Amino acid sequence: MLLKIMEIWSYVQLPLCWLLFKRFARRNVLGEMIAGTIIGIFWEYSTEALWNYNFSFNIFKDIPPGVPLGWGVMFTLAVFLSEKLYFLFFSQTQGKPRDKRIFITDLISAVIIGLPFEKLGLITGVWTYNYEILNWSPSRIPVFDMPYEVMIGYSLLMLIAPTFVRYWQSSFE
Amino acid sequence: MLLKFMEVWSYLQAPVVAYLFWKLAKRNVIGDLIAGTIIGAYIEFATEPLWDYHFIITAYKDIPPGIVLGWGIMFTTAVFVSEKLYMLLFKQKQILPYDKRIFITDVIAAPMVGLPLEKIGLWTGVWDYHYELLNWSGITIPVFGMPLEALVGYGLLMMVAPTFVRYWQKGFEGR
Q: What is the pLDDT of residues A30-71, one digit of tens each?
A: 999 999 999 999 999 999 999 999 999 999 999 999 999 999
Q: What is the CB neighbour count within 10 angstroms for residue A44?
A: 23
Q: What is the largest CA-CA distance in chain B?
A: 47
pLDDT band at A74 (very low <50, low <70, confident <90, very high): very high
Residue B110: per-residue pLDDT: 85
Taking the CA of residue B26 and the nearest CA in chain A, the distance in Å comes to 23
Residue A72: per-residue pLDDT: 97
Residue pair B165/B32 in contact (Cβ under 8 Å)? The answer is: yes
pLDDT band at A135 (very low <50, low <70, confident <90, very high): very high
Residue B175 has pLDDT above 80, yes or no: no
pLDDT band at A97 (very low <50, low <70, confident <90, very high): confident
Residue A95: per-residue pLDDT: 82
Residue B20 has pLDDT above 80, yes or no: yes
Nearest to A164 among B42, B43, B164 (CB): B164
- What's the whole-model pTM score? 0.94
Residue A110: per-residue pLDDT: 87
pLDDT band at A93 (very low <50, low <70, confident <90, very high): confident
pLDDT band at A94 (very low <50, low <70, confident <90, very high): confident
Residue B143: per-residue pLDDT: 85
A157 vs B: CB within 8 A: yes
Mutate to test the interface with B, among A42, A44, A96, A100 (most CBs of B within 10 A): A42
Average pLDDT, chain B: 95
What would the pLDDT profile of B28-47 be if each residue is shown by its tens digit?
999 999 999 999 999 999 99
Question: Which residues, at least 6 apart from A118, have a Cβ–Cβ distance to it below 8 Å?
Answer: A146, A150, A154
Rounded to whole angstroms, the Cα distance separating B85 from B108 reads 9
B101 residue type, one letter? R
Average pLDDT, chain A: 94
Q: Minimal CA–CA distance to B95: which of B85, B104, B103, B87?
A: B87
Residue pair A95/A68 in contact (Cβ under 8 Å)? The answer is: no
Rounded mean pLDDT of B153-157?
93
Q: Minimal CA–CA distance to A136: which of A123, A151, A126?
A: A151
Residue A1 has pLDDT above 90, yes or no: no
Residue A22: per-residue pLDDT: 96
What would the pLDDT profile of B105-120 be if each residue is shown by its tens digit?
999 998 899 999 999 9
* Residue A61 zone, left/alpha/beta (φ > 0; ψ -120 to 50; rest): left
Nearest to B38 among A42, A49, A160 (CB): A160
Q: CB B46 to CB A159 under 8 A?
A: no
User: pLDDT above 90 covers what percent of chain A?
Assistant: 91
What would the pLDDT profile of B81-100 be if each residue is shown by its tens digit?
999 999 999 999 999 999 99
Rounded to whole angstroms, the Cα distance separating A46 from B148 reads 13
Nearest to A38 among B42, B61, B160 (CB): B160
Residue A173: per-residue pLDDT: 86
Rounded to whole angstroms, the Cα distance separating A63 from A52 reads 8
User: pLDDT above 90 covers what percent of chain B?
Assistant: 92
- Taking the domains of chain A in order of start, what are their residue ranges? 2-172
Residue B173: per-residue pLDDT: 87
A134 vs B: CB within 8 A: yes
Residue A165: per-residue pLDDT: 95
